Amino acid sequence: MKNSPFLSHISEYMISRHFAKRTIETYLHWIKGYIIFNDKKHPSQLSNCNVENYLSFLANQKNVSPSTQKIALNAINFLYKEILKSPLDLNLEFNKSTRQTKLPVVLTPEEVTQLIAHTDANKTLVIKLLYGSGLRLMEAIRLRVQDIDFDYCSIMVWNGKGGKHRRVTLAKELIEPLKLQIESCRSFYDNDMNLSSYSGVYLPYALAQKYPHAPKMFNWHYLFPSNRLSVDPHSKQCNRRHHIDETTVRKAVLIASRKAQINKRVNCHTLRHSFATHLLQRGTDIRTVQEQLGHSDLRTTQIYTHVIQAGANGVRSPLSDL
């Protein structure tokens, strides 16, 4: 199904409606899985019952998390509603995933210090932003030069998870390193602007239409630019300066955790978990932490209270009284 005309049609449809690249990849993954599960029959020949069986299969045999099952449902719902113009039944009956949500892995401040100390120098600033501002990985590497507000020591995060915008704290210790990073960006920018074939930086369709000159304005360029020019997958225009690849940051964190001999499962999101937990340990109001993280539901933020020094749910162990 690698060169499936049907999947290509779905991809082109989503591109024409300016869906995010990652959303397109995710939806195609689950739609392809649904088709394969049903012996490669065309979805137009399948019914609500087939959808229910597939979603139950994901919960029972694949043991996916509730959030993963929900993403699969969203993808298939999109397929029937937007592509086949035959919306699914609103009352689908399938086995919902009951897999328990994992508790977040949290580093101690000492472990964060060691992790940063063992991080490759050209990835240190990104790592410090993940921990110092509680950013998700993609939020960090998609930052643009103009998103850093030095006057108010904050960072503007645009179109985070769920398409939400928010303002997060910026550690004063990162002001000078960020200014140096912006100078480095300026060097890339000056060299690129001397190329007649340079098409500027990528902007989402709406912004590119509203600000036609923005792609070649410095402030719109990425804070962490890639070392190479690349082809825009949507417009097929060459010579754009994209941001660094997220896999390089993931690898840097993994290597640093091994070098620091941290005996925990550490990834980029661990730094966000640690940011939230350490704020709560310092007495920061949970509503403030919720806003910093960009959570819609306070219950999502409350999971970080599990490691506060007082113990689980603030309960003092009777062993401490012996």
Instruction: State the catalytic residue, choosing from 136, 243, 273, 278.
Output: 136
306 belongs to the catalytic site: no
- Give Cβ neighbours of residue 264 (< 8 Å, ≥ 6 apart): 105, 107, 111, 257, 270
Q: Of the listed 40, 42, 161, 251, which one is catalytic?
A: 161
Q: What are phi and psi of 200, to 5 degrees?
A: 90, -175
CB 262 within 8 A of CB 131: no
Torsions phi, psi for 315 (to 5 deg): -85, 130
Q: Is 161 a catalytic residue?
A: yes
∠ at Cα 296 (291, 297), nearest 5°? Answer: 105
Query: Is 131 assigned a catalytic role?
Result: no
Q: Which of 27, 131, 198, 304 is catalytic?
A: 304
- Does the annotation mark 144 as catalytic? no
Q: Is 189 a catalytic residue?
A: no
d(CA 140, CA 120): 17
Catalytic residue among 221, 272, 273, 278: 272
| Catalytic residue (choose from 70, 167, 216, 269) | 269
Is 295 a catalytic site residue? yes
DSSP 228-268: EEE--TTT----EEEEPPHHHHHHHHHHHHHHTT--S---H
Active-site position among 295, 299, 306, 316: 295
Neighbouring residues of 147: CB distance < 8 A, sequence distance ≥ 6? 155, 156, 157, 158, 223
Displacement of CA 167 from its chain's centroid (Å): 16
* Residues forming the active site: 136, 161, 269, 272, 295, 304
